[in-house]
């Protein structure tokens, strides 16, 4: 479904992505793991069109989307819950979710999707009139994911959804990610929490200083000694 | 006591004008973090368009109001496209200096076209003249017109910002531009729309101030522009209700100071307020100290 081919990204003289290639097939959960500063967020921002790569291709269903605007990419079915949640703090939970459906006009279907989001995250239904900035960190993460679902994406990009969350919450978020995937949304998941990510992922890529250094199925990588040492704490 | 009421009524009409200008400053600041120095000149253009509309074109007051709002909307959008948009990723100081350049350009172009002299605003006729007395307090129809038009415009603005799709986009872009883009919001369109709204309000303020002071000139934007900016800072820059409150506050203070002490102090007091706000609560009356959750 999504194919990143040999992209290079620079920030001035910093060469942040060095010929990165990765593929996400329809229906999969693919995870991208790696240490701080490896280039995971940059990869997702490039897929969403917030950062222009120096060269390389990004194909969605075989069509190159490099020159498409971020808006067009949302319309084509790419949606992202960014790193650090980035909810609209001075707007209500409901307004945040409505903004997720900004480009849609099908009111009835939007209402259905809102119900779906509330089913995944019942707490958001209770808090819909509350300002997003007053939610707890975990609730904000749920809102960020729910908001990203409101565009009815075909592929959902999640950037460190477990960041800063208590272990119990992390488990819950991962369960929900799996549910969203089962309901038919393809997922590209960036994580620092490698063990959790590898457990739910069909396939995984490991990134180090701007390059993909390893890839395989989730269980293959969990067995790999390098991964155990570097990311799984032994 | 009556004199106090009288002053407050006068202050409210002057404050309406400051509030309308302050809204444009605050919305533009909210969305691109720019103090748009050219904003006060859009207000001045609004006054001139109103003047020519009522004298040369012989249109009535209300059609002239719409004409100056429309003209200012277009000018505001053009300025953004031509002068600020190319600098979207430049440093803030570069954009600020550009804004000062745009301001001077508008002032001196207007002087070249319309002359540097002061013009008397056309006398109002028909329903726009006269006054009512409540006890010994005098309320002119001009004041009623200024305040009612301001309230209608503010209510419309609140409706647009709170309820409409583009209004929600404006708030989203102000809060987090990248996240707004991820929602599929077109940031450029939204910024243009913000300039359009702010400039329309400035245009309205321009024609209303003609009713208040009866005279206009190409440099008339400077002082009210700075005061409206102070009003925006007082209320909390970037916060729409803050600009409204700030505008009325500055207007009333200014009139009270001129009424009860030496009118030479009135401009000084406004700046004293600015300094006090910056010392006591730099985020303004309604501003929150920015905080982030981890
Ligand atoms: N806007 C920017 N300007 C300059 N350099 C940047 C910018 N954004 C990212 N970088 C650099 O690009 C590299 C990759 O950063 P990126 O945020 O993609 O890492 P990451 O893998 O998401 O890290 P983390 O796990 O800490 O979120 C880093 O060296 C970072 O310093
Ligand atoms: Mg990151």
Q: What ipTM does this complex have?
A: 0.94
Q: Helix or strand or coil: residue B167?
A: helix
* Domain residue extents for chain A: 2-231
Å between B174 CA and nearest CA of chain A:
9
For A39, which DSSP code? S
What integer pLDDT is reported at residue B262 of this predicted model?
A: 79
Q: Does an H or E element contain B133, and which?
A: strand B131-134
What integer pLDDT is reported at residue B242 of this predicted model?
A: 94
Please state which architecture CATH assigns to domain A2-231.
3-Layer(aba) Sandwich (3.40)
Q: What is the pLDDT of residues A83-104, one digit of tens each?
A: 999 999 999 999 999 999 999 9
Q: Note the pTM of the prediction, 2 decimals.
A: 0.91
For A138, nearest residue in chain B (alpha carbons): B294
- Taking the centre of ligand 1 as the mean of its atom positions, its distance from the CA of residue A209, in whole angstroms, is 10
Distance CA B172, CA B185 (A): 9
Query: Are A86 and B179 a contacting pair at CB < 8 A?
Result: yes
Residues of B in contact with A83 (CB under 8 A): none
Q: Which ligand 1 atom is the nearest neighbour of the CA of A207?
A: 21
Q: Helix or strand or coil: residue A181?
A: helix
C-beta A110 within 6 A of ligand 1: no
Strands (E), chain A: 2-11, 14-24, 29-34, 55-60, 63-64, 78-81, 155-159, 186-191, 203-208, 211-217
What integer pLDDT is reported at residue B265 of this predicted model?
A: 85
Residue B42: phi and psi, rounded to 5, are -65, -35
> Which of the four pLDDT bands, split at 50, 70 and 90, describes residue A234?
low
What integer pLDDT is reported at residue A227 of this predicted model?
A: 75
Distance CA B294, CA B92 (A): 28
pLDDT above 80 for B294:
no
Tokens matching residue B243: 């600009």
Distance CA A6, CA A60 (A): 15
Q: Are A112 and A97 in contact (CB under 8 A)?
A: no
Q: What is the pLDDT of residues B214-256, one digit of tens each?
A: 889 999 999 999 999 999 999 999 899 999 999 999 999 999 9
Helices (H), A80-136: 93-100, 107-120, 122-126
Residue A83: phi and psi, rounded to 5, are -60, 135
Mutation target to probe the A interface, by most A beta carbons within 10 A, among B169, B173, B183 is: B183
Q: Whose CA is nearest to atom 24 of ligand 1?
A: A36
């Amino acid at each position: 479904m999504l194919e990143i081919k040999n992209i290079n990204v620079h920030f001035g003289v910093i060469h942040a992505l060095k010929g990165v290639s990765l593929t996400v097939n329809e229906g999969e959960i693919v995870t991208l793991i790696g240490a701080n500063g490896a280039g995971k967020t940059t990869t997702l921002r490039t897929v969403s069109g917030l950062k222009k790569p120096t060269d390389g291709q990004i194909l969605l269903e075989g069509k190159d989307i490099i020159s498409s605007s971020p808006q067009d990419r949302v319309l084509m079915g790419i949606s992202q819950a960014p790193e650090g949640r980035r909810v609209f703090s001075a707007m209500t939970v409901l307004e945040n979710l409505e903004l997720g459906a900004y480009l849609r006009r099908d009111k009835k279907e939007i209402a259905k999707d809102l119900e779906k989001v509330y089913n995944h995250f019942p707490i958001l239904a209770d808090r819909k009139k509350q300002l997003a900035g007053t939610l707890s960190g975990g609730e904000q993460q749920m809102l960020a994911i729910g908001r990203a679902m409101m565009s009815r994406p075909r592929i959902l990009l999640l950037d460190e959804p477990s960041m800063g969350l208590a272990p119990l919450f992390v488990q819950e978020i991962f369960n929900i990610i799996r549910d969203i995937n089962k309901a038919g949304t393809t997922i590209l998941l960036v994580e620092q929490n490698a063990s959790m990510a590898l457990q739910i992922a069909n396939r995984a890529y490991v990134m180090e200083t701007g390059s993909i250094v390893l890839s395989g199925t989730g269980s293959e990588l969990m067995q790999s000694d390098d991964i155990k040492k570097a990311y799984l704490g032994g | 006591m009556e004199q106090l009421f009288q002053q407050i009524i006068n202050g409210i009409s002057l404050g309406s004008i400051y509030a309308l200008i302050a809204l444009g400053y605050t919305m533009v600041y909210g969305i691109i973090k720019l103090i748009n120095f050219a904003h006060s000149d859009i207000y001045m253009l609004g006054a001139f368009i109103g003047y020519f509309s009522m004298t040369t074109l012989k249109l009535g007051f209300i059609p002239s109001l719409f004409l100056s709002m429309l003209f200012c909307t277009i000018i505001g959008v053009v300025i953004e496209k031509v002068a600020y948009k190319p600098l979207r990723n430049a440093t803030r100081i570069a954009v600020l200096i550009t804004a000062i350049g745009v301001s001077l350009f508008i002032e001196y172009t207007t002087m070249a076209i319309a002359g540097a002299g002061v013009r008397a605003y056309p006398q109002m006729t028909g329903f726009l003249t006269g006054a009512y007395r409540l006890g010994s307090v005098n309320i002119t129809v001009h004041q009623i017109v200024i305040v009612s038009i301001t309230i209608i415009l503010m209510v419309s603005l609140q409706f647009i910002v709170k309820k409409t799709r583009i209004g929600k986009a404006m708030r989203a872009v102000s809060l987090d531009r990248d996240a707004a883009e991820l929602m599929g919001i077109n940031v450029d369109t939204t910024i243009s729309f913000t300039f359009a709204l702010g400039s329309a309000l400035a245009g309205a303020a321009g024609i209303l101030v003609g009713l208040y002071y009866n005279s206009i000139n190409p440099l008339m934007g400077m002082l009210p522009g700075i005061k409206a900016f102070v009003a925006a800072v007082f209320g909390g820059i970037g916060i729409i209700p803050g600009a409204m409150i700030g505008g009325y506050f500055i207007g009333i203070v200014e009139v009270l100071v001129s009424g009860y002490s030496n009118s030479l102090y009135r401009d000084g007091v406004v700046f004293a307020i600015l300094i006090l706000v910056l010392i006591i609560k730099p985020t303004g009356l309604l501003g929150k100290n920015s905080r982030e959750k981890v």
